[in-house]
Each structure stands twice: as structure tokens, then as C-alpha cells.
Amino acid sequence: MKALAAALAGLLVLLQYPLWFGKGGWLKVRDLDRQVAEQQAVNARLKTRNDALDAEVRDLKEGHAAIEERARLELGMIKQDEVFYQVVPAAAPARR
């Protein structure tokens, strides 16, 4: 009877091994699920960035206000017959 129980236990272990450690085992599936979740998070961040860039491109193609704003802020351009004033803040006194 002990031999039969040992044989059945051994058979059970042999059947369980692929379930836990095999090619499609629980450990591999859990690891792949984790990798999929990480990739989905990366994809979500990239989609948000791409949507923002797409909106900016559409705005630059369709609206002149965006082009004018960019020219003013990034290139320091002004319109014709416009007066440019630059306000320089006073320097803080040096501490001794």
C-alpha cells in the first residue's frame, strides 16, 4: 500500500511540474502578465505624448495665433510698428 501511495504521489508531482515550471506554467504566465502591464503603462504615456504633439501640429497647421506665439516666445520676434520693452528686475543686494 505504501508503494502505491508513493507511486501516486510521484505521479502527482510529475503532473504538477509542467503546470508550475513548464513552458506555459503559472510562473511564466505571471511574469508575462507583469511585462504586459508594464508595456501597457509605457504605451499609455507615449500615447499621451503623441496626442499632445498631434494637437500642437494641428494647431500650427491651422492657426496663425500659435505660429505668432511661438515666434514671439522662442525667437523673440515682434510685429512691424510694435515697440519692444524689456523689463529687467533689480538685482538683489549681496549678503555679507
> Is the confidence at residue 18, as pLDDT, over 80?
no
- Residue 84 within any structural domain of the chain: no
Contact between 27 and 21 under an 8 Å Cβ cutoff? The reply is yes
In a domain, 27, yes or no: yes
Judge whether 80 lies within some domain.
no
Given a cut of 90, whether residue 54 has pLDDT beyond it is yes
Total-model pTM: 0.51
Q: Is residue 29 one of the residues assigned to a domain?
A: yes
Residue at 88 is within a domain: no
Which cell numbers in the block locate residue 18? 509542467
At 51 the pLDDT is 97
Total domains, the chain: 1
Asked, for residue 94, whether it belongs to a domain, the answer is: no
Task: Let me know if residue 13 belongs to a domain.
Answer: no
Q: How confident is the model at residue 35 (pLDDT cuts 50, 70, 90)?
A: very high
Q: Does the pLDDT value for residue 92 go beyond 90?
A: no
pLDDT(96) > 70: no
Burial 68-94 (b: 16+ CB within 10 A, else e): eeeeeeeeeeeeeeeeeeeeeeeeeee
- Asked whether residue 39 is domain-assigned, the answer is yes
Average pLDDT over residues 7-11: 87
Domain that holds residue 30: 23-75
